[in-house]
Amino acid sequence: MKNLLINQSSVLYFFIVLVFCVGISSCEEIEAEAEFSIPKYIKSLNPLRYEDEIAFRKKFGRWSQRAVLGMISFNILGTLDAIDYYDDIDDEIGVFKHPVTGEFENFYVKDNVLDWELSDDEFETDLESLCDLEGIGCGAQYYKREFKKCTMDASDDGSGMKCQDLLEDIETPDCWCIPPLHLQIYEFPSDSDSEDQACLDHCGSKDMLAKCKYPINAITHIDLSGLQLVGTMLPEEVSDLLFLDSLLIDDNRLIGSLKLKNLGLRHLNISGNELMDFSLDRLPRLQSLVMANTKLESSVPASFTDLPMLAHVDLSGNKIQGTIPTFVGMDKLQHLNLSDNRFTGEITVELLQMPELTLLDLSNNQLSKFPQDDFPIKNFQSIILSNNTLDGAIPSNLFQDQLKIFRATNNKLSGTIPVEIESAKSLTQFDVSFNDMTGTIPKVIYDLAHLEELGIVANKFRGQISHSLYKSKLVKDHDSESNPPRKNMLVCPRGYFHWQGKATTTEDCRVCAPCEEDLKEKECLYLGQTTCSDGSKVVRGDMNGNGFVDEREVLFIIYQTADGHLWNKHYRVWGDLKNHPDACKGMPGIECSPEGFLESIRIPDVGLNSGDEEIEENFMGLPPEIGHLRQLRTLELSGNYLFELPPEMSKLENLKYLMLDRCNLVSLPPALWTLKKLESVDLSQNKLSGNIIPPEIGNLTYLKEFKIASSDVDGKIPSEIGNVHSLVTLDLSKNNMHGTLPQSMGNLQNLKEIHLESNFFSGPIDHIFRLRRMEVINLKSNNFYGAIPSQLAPRVQHLDLYDNLFFGDVPHFLNSQMLTSLRLGDNRVFQLPPELCRGGRKINGGPIGSGLGPCDHILCPVGSHSMSGHAPCTLCREGLTNLFPGSISCDNLYDDDILEPFLSLVYAQDEYPPEDYDKIDICTSWKGIECDKQKKILSIEVPLANIDIDKVFN
């Protein structure tokens, strides 16, 4: 049997923990007796307030209004933006950990950010008004309050629903059935008794009072919109606000699940937050639901369709999968926005025949079919279907008199434009560009008096366009003085092409050479072509007709394809091909070799593609002609909108420096990893979801700097990275990467800086600590666990292990004289070596004389805390404490909080602690725990075979 080695400090520490466990189960006893769970906020209250709230909950079957507001405030940590100017802003910076990804985000700490006075000393029951609090409205006050709901303005650009500020009187409820007991809580207006016989009979059958108005002191309105709040999603106890009519929390940073039920809620807006899940159960009055840009990924739950009064729905900007719900029973639905999701399947007849539906946006999904049978519809004002995979013909009966907007660009539609379009007398926008439609343009279009936008390019339309269509309201994008409108700005005629399918203010359509002589029976004779069929005779981008694209023409193409007319004024000479024909003379951002070859393009933050609202639809960015710049060594386009890179990047075989950070990239071409001369690559702050870093990174043997931080990258670090012996700086921080650090990284003997913070990495790190040239190691906010390695490279100046799972004493090697910055907070370390805390050392600036201990500049002592884990430290409030030095918070510690770190070391990682350990009964679900009938812990039994004493106590 292994020797039992327990040092004195470890024995004392464990003794303190066990003593603290005694007598702290009162909350658990009350919870078991009352048969309802007690939220953490309630547990944090002082004894008097705690007893009052428990008594209220038992009497009325719900939590008081003040308690619910307290729970909301309790979950909010601060704001995303600074509220006031602070002299010492570092003291006000906090860190928010994402509950799913584990990634950390900074925020500004502010106590009671909502300015709600809900302190224990000022406790008032529901009999008192809470209506003076910011963002809170009650009863009659709410009748004249302003609220937000989402609509779709048919006169806008047709991009979809928009939230507008509207003023609307709140209708009095038809009927509220109130238990007589609630008259002890709520004060009703004198004329609130219902006179409706049906209401009287309905409530009377339940022995309740029939009311037709809101109570004067009932919370009916919560508006926290746009406050940039950071924290967890509203608690489900919000459902205890029985008269809540409007709940608006959009444009914040609240994360978690939302569960609402049994409410008279009519308006709900949670856009711009992050929903892990949601449940809307029995909300019979809900009229407006806005959940845009909340990162929802699952399918729409079945309970969603059980909302009979719903009129406005916006679920856009999420990742919702599956088929479109049937919305059975939702006959009042008027506005539906499901754009920018992942819906698949057909657009059903049932959806198109919803009796009140007028505004429908299904763009940017993966929908494949229209219903092809004849079916009657009416009322539609706007139908937006762009960026799907819809095939087949457009149903002719979609074109009714009320229709104002029809957009279906970038699909696979075939057939002709229905002549029934003449019935759409109100039509202002019609765009079917980038499809496979055929035939000619119906003459009936010429008679649509309100038509302001016509998009027909990139199809297979033949024939000619009547001159009557070339009128100013269809040709908008020009300045009549400096850039007069061109005839072809609506569509290129037969035998001509332009990359946009129509002329621009600076470039007319160009003739397709194969079609120039004979205009009969040629495939290139379609209207609005974006290229010519015979690529061997027509070279895209060949402006001077010499049969190839030179470097100056490449710059002109970049200007044309990336909204050059909106760039910073200094760079607009790129578009002046006539007066600036030489790429190496007078071109800002360009450097050339002595031989006259273009070697460097540096145009960060100039506004590439800044004016194209549908860039993802047309896949703009760098044009493929970039591949003609064979001598290019530096490409810096940071802070522009590229979306993706063309495969022709593989032709840039001399490229050494590639800076594409902040470019909204969503993918990388395999060609990138074939550029073997690359020395520096920065792809940070993009949208590169997925396993982006392939084994081929090992081919980049000259690479010295590789950065891809804050780009949503997941996957593992490939072992082939160990072949990049030249690597000096590696930054993969703030992503979703996981797995262990490959042992091959021990070969990176030139590595000086490694930044892996805010990921999910785990496993051993000894080989990283031993790299002899290492100066900066940042591993904070990962899942590294176990003892801190006992060896450290002698040149390390900055070591950050904050927020991991390291356990045990800090090793003596950290006494290195080179070390100036050391972050160990939010781990489970016991103590520091005494020599690390002695005077003369300047780690983290050295001791600050706070009086909380000689090592507080490295770790706050137990019983104090700070967001950094080191000084300046703050003593815990009375009744609160923590378990480890370097803690970032103080709490009421219960049995589970104290036992979890101990037993998680005793048992294997995959079986302990139990899932949701803080929400289950310790006495029945925790292995090795024995309790008495009052659920007080009697004993802890741990199998000796499971214990590694050195690991637990050393």
Identify any residues that bridge with 280 across adjacent strands, giving them in sequence order: 260
The pLDDT score that the predictor gives to residue 819 is 84
- The per-residue DSSP string of 911-938 comes to T-SPTTGGGS-HHHHSTTEEE-TT--EE
Reduced to 3 states (helix: H, G, I; strand: E, B; else coil), residue 70 is helix
pLDDT at 902: 65
The CA-atom distances, in angstroms, between 681 and each of 260, 605, 688 are 47, 17, 15
Instruction: Look at 194-203, 283-292, 535-544 and tell me which has the smallest mean pLDDT.
Output: 535-544
Determine phi and psi for 823, rounding to 5 degrees.
-120, 115
What's the confidence (pLDDT) of residue 261? 85
For helices 26-34 and 47-60, the axis angle rounded to 10 degrees is 10
Tell me what pLDDT residue 33 has.
53
| Amino acid 476: pLDDT | 54
What are residue 707's phi and psi, to 5 degrees?
-125, 130
What does the alpha-carbon distance between residue 736 and residue 265 come to, in Å, rounded to a whole number? Answer: 37
pLDDT at 908 over 90: no
678 near 703, Cβ under 8 Å? yes
| CB-based contacts of 76, cutoff 8 Å, min separation 6 | 113, 114, 229, 230, 231, 254
> How many Cα neighbours within 13 Å face the side chain of 624?
7
**Under 8 Å between Cβ of 497 and 532:** yes
More confident residue, 40 or 845: 40
Residue 64 confidence (pLDDT) above 60: yes
pLDDT at residue 550, as a whole number: 81
* Tokens read off for 663: 């470019």
Q: Which of 374, 343, 373 shows the shortest CA–CA distance to 360?
A: 343
26-40, 121-135, 318-332, 794-808 — most confident range: 794-808
**Cα separation of 847 and 833, whole Å?**
15
Share of the chain above pLDDT 70, in %: 74
Which range, 242-246, 451-455, 631-635, is most confident?
A: 631-635
Per residue in 793-849, pLDDT (tens digit) is 889 999 999 999 888 888 876 556 788 888 999 998 887 887 777 655 677 876 655
Q: Give pLDDT tens digits for 881-891.
A: 888 899 998 88
Once rounded to an integer, what is the mean pLDDT over residues 421-437?
92
Instruction: Look over the chain and give the mean of its residue pLDDT values, rounded to a whole number.
Output: 78
Q: What is the pLDDT of residue 725?
A: 94
What 3-state DSSP class applies to 209?
strand
- Mean pLDDT of all residues in 248-253: 91
DSSP structural state of residue 529: B
79-87 contacts: CB < 8 A, separation 24 or more? 79/107, 79/108, 79/110, 79/113, 79/227, 79/228, 79/229, 79/230, 80/107, 80/108, 80/228, 80/229, 80/230, 80/253, 81/108, 81/228, 82/108, 83/108, 83/110, 83/113
Question: Is residue 271 very low, low, confident or very high in pLDDT (cuts 50, 70, 90)?
Answer: very high
Is the pLDDT at 118 greater than 80? The verdict is no
* C-alpha distances in Å from residue 764, one per residue of 767, 788, 790, 806: 8, 9, 12, 11
Q: Pick from 157-161, 775-779, 793-797, 812-816 the range whose average pLDDT is largest.
A: 775-779
C-alpha closest to that of 251 among 276, 232, 224:
224
The CA R_g of the chain, rounded to the nearest whole Å, is: 33
**Residues 446 and 423 sit within 8 Å (Cβ to Cβ):** no
Helix residue ranges per DSSP H, 36-193: 40-43, 47-60, 65-74
Please check the confidence at residue 262 and state whether its pLDDT lies above 70. yes
How far apart are alpha carbons 392 and 436 in whole angstroms?
Answer: 9
| Residues composing the chain | 954
440 three-class SS: coil
Report the run of H or E that residue 769 belongs to, with start and end: helix 766-769
Q: Which residue from 596, 600, 579, 577 is spatially nearest to 588, judged by alpha carbons?
A: 600
The listed range with the strongest mean pLDDT (136-150, 441-455, 477-491) is 441-455
203 DSSP 8-state letter: H
Res 103 pLDDT > 90:
no
853: left (phi over 0), alpha (psi -120 to 50) or beta: left
**Whether 98 contacts 255, CB under 8 Å:** yes
| Average of per-residue pLDDT across 311-323 | 91
Q: What pLDDT is attached to residue 804?
A: 92
From CA 664, how far away is CA 688, in angstroms rounded?
8
Tell me the backbone φ, ψ of residue 305, rounded to 5 degrees: -80, -5
Which range among 63-72, 190-199, 407-416 shows the weakest confidence by mean pLDDT?
190-199
N-terminal to C-terminal alpha carbon distance within the chain: 17
Residue with tokens 């092409």: 497
- Strands (E) in 132-242, as ranges, are 136-138, 146-151, 162-167, 176-178, 209-211, 219-223, 229-232
| Of 776, 733, 767, 777, the residue nearest 747 (C-alpha) | 767
For residues 432 and 459, is the Cβ–Cβ distance under 8 A? yes
Inter-helix orientation angle 895-906/8-21, to 10°: 140
Give the burial class of 735: count Cβ atoms within 10 A of its Cβ; 0-12 exposed, 13-18 middle, 19 or more buried: buried
Residue 474 pLDDT: 64
All residues at 6 or more sequence positions from 567 whose CB lies less than 8 Å from its CB, including other chains: 559, 574, 606, 607, 608, 610
Q: Which two tokens stand for residue 168?
A: 């609307």
Q: Which DSSP symbol is given to 204?
A: H
Q: Residues 438-454, buried b or exposed e (16+ Cβ, 10 A)?
A: eeebeeebeebeebebb
Q: Which residue has the tokens 């002589």?
A: 517
DSSP 8-state assignment for residue 758: S
Report the 10 Å Cβ neighbour count for 123: 18
The more confident residue out of 915 and 369 is 369
The confidence score (pLDDT) of residue 341 equals: 92
Q: Residue 725 and residue 132: Cα distance in Å, rounded?
A: 65
| pLDDT band (50, 70, 90) for residue 703 | very high
Please report the pLDDT score of residue 903 as a whole number. 64
Q: In angstroms, rounded to a whole number, what is the distance separating the alpha carbons of residues 802 and 113?
A: 26
- Which residue is associated with the tokens 């139990």? 914
* Highest mean pLDDT (candidates 573-587, 736-750, 893-907): 736-750
On whether the CB atoms of residues 93 and 108 are closer than 8 A, the answer is yes
pLDDT digits (tens, 9 = 90+) for 273-311: 998 888 888 888 899 999 999 988 877 776 666 788 899
| Nearest-angstrom CA–CA distance, 166 and 162 | 12
Query: What integer pLDDT is reported at residue 518 of this predicted model?
Result: 47
Q: Which two tokens stand for residue 703?
A: 């690479």
Pure H helices in 35-168: 40-43, 47-60, 65-74
pLDDT at 782 (0 to 100): 94
Q: Which of 670, 801, 689, 785 is nearest to 735 (CA)?
A: 689
